[in-house]
């Protein structure tokens, strides 16, 4: 029988891709999601247990029912801007919800968790590329909450022996190459789907926030990682935690080590789609660092993880195929 793994937030963008990767690796992904931001149609590779991680009793009941051998923890809120406007909401959902999860794991005797963290824990660092050893200096409540959860997991590793891996994503992008799941945020805040909507006339011209950064063309530079490669890293992290050389608590950057400016991403979209994205220049957004590029050396060495879908053309092509199909339906 397939081995159950609880996937909190498994009806969302990255979580649904991870559920597919788990099923392909012989696990049974048991999705735990309140469907506030996730999508019922995205739960295709295992059962859905509806519930909120703020509902400790419901979470514990699901954990007791399935007795998963591990947890992949994606559930939480993800908008940086909203976190600045509503910090209490973000700390409650992302931090208190994670504490509830750890307590439910302890009660059920579940000893491994892979946590969906973020490059936002580093803040506006001047270090490029960014190694895991860089100071954690988040500049918004979203990043601060993720850093808090990493600290909680480290302390629970010492106190209770809970093994954890925090995966610090850079810019998740793209869509399942088979077209079975993809990005469907509401509202959407990510560059590539916003640009594709502008290209298709579903929204007005895309706004580029600043063109005077210290980058090759003045627009912000980011490290884009295909969501299928992110999903693969989660499965590899599960395998890593049972190795004798694994740390009780660890963290890995998930990126390619290559940055693309906003204009370079728009140029790639133009090459793939055959026409250019309409855009206008707006003012800088407060707190946007000029460059965020990962040093993924440790993930490659320790997890045996190598991105296979994260060239910018593949990211754009799969995102375009998904959006074209899902918005035509």
Cα 52 to Cα 34, 35, 78, 282, 304: the distances in Å are: 5, 9, 16, 38, 33
Residue 166's closest CA among 81, 254, 282, 99?
Answer: 254
Query: Is 53:75 a contact under the CB 8 Å cutoff?
Result: yes
- Non-local CB neighbours of 151 within 8 Å, separated by 6+ positions: none
How far is residue 33's CA from residue 166's CA, in Å, rounded to a whole number?
A: 20
Active site residue 142: yes
How far is residue 105's CA from residue 162's CA, in Å, rounded to a whole number?
A: 9
Q: Of 90, 142, 224, 240, which residue is the catalytic one?
A: 142
How far is residue 39's CA from residue 329's CA, in Å, rounded to a whole number?
A: 15
What tokens appear for 137 in the block? Answer: 């200096």
- DSSP string for residues in 84-147: HH-HHHHIIIIIIHHHHHHHHHHHHT--EEEEEEEGGGG-S---SSBPTTS-----SHHHHHHH
Which residues are known to be catalytic?
142
């Amino acid at each position: 029988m397939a081995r159950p793994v609880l996937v909190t937030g498994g009806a969302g963008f990255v979580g649904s891709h991870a559920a597919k990767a788990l099923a392909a690796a012989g696990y049974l992904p048991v999705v735990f999601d309140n469907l506030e931001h996730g999508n019922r149609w995205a739960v295709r590779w295992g059962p859905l247990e509806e519930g909120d991680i703020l509902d400790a009793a419901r979470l514990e009941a699901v954990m007791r029912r399935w007795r998963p051998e591990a947890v992949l923890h994606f559930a939480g809120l993800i908008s940086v801007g909203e976190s600045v406007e509503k910090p209490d909401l973000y700390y409650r959902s992302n931090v208190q919800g994670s504490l509830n999860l750890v307590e439910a794991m302890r009660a059920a005797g579940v000893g491994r968790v892979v946590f969906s963290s973020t490059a936002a824990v580093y803040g506006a660092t001047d270090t490029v590329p960014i190694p895991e050893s860089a100071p954690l200096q988040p500049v918004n409540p979203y990043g601060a909450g993720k850093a808090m959860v990493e600290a909680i997991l480290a302390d629970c590793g010492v106190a209770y022996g809970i093994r954890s891996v925090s995966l610090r994503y850079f810019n998740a992008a793209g869509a399942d190459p088979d077209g079975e799941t993809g990005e469907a945020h509401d509202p959407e805040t990510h560059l590539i789907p916003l640009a594709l909507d502008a290209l298709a006339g579903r929204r007005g011209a895309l706004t580029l926030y600043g063109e005077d950064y210290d980058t090759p063309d003045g627009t912000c530079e980011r490290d884009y990682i295909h969501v299928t490669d992110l999903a693969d890293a989660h499965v590899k992290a599960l395998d890593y935690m049972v190795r004798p050389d694994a740390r009780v608590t660890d963290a890995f950057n998930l990126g390619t080590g290559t940055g693309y400016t906003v204009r370079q991403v728009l140029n790639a979209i133009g090459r793939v789609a055959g026409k250019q994205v309409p855009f206008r220049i707006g003012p800088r957004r407060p707190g946007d660092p000029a460059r965020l590029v990962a040093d993924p050396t440790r993930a490659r060495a320790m997890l045996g993880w190598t991105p296979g879908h994260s060239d910018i053309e593949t990211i754009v092509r799969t995102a375009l195929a998904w959006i074209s199909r899902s918005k035509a339906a």
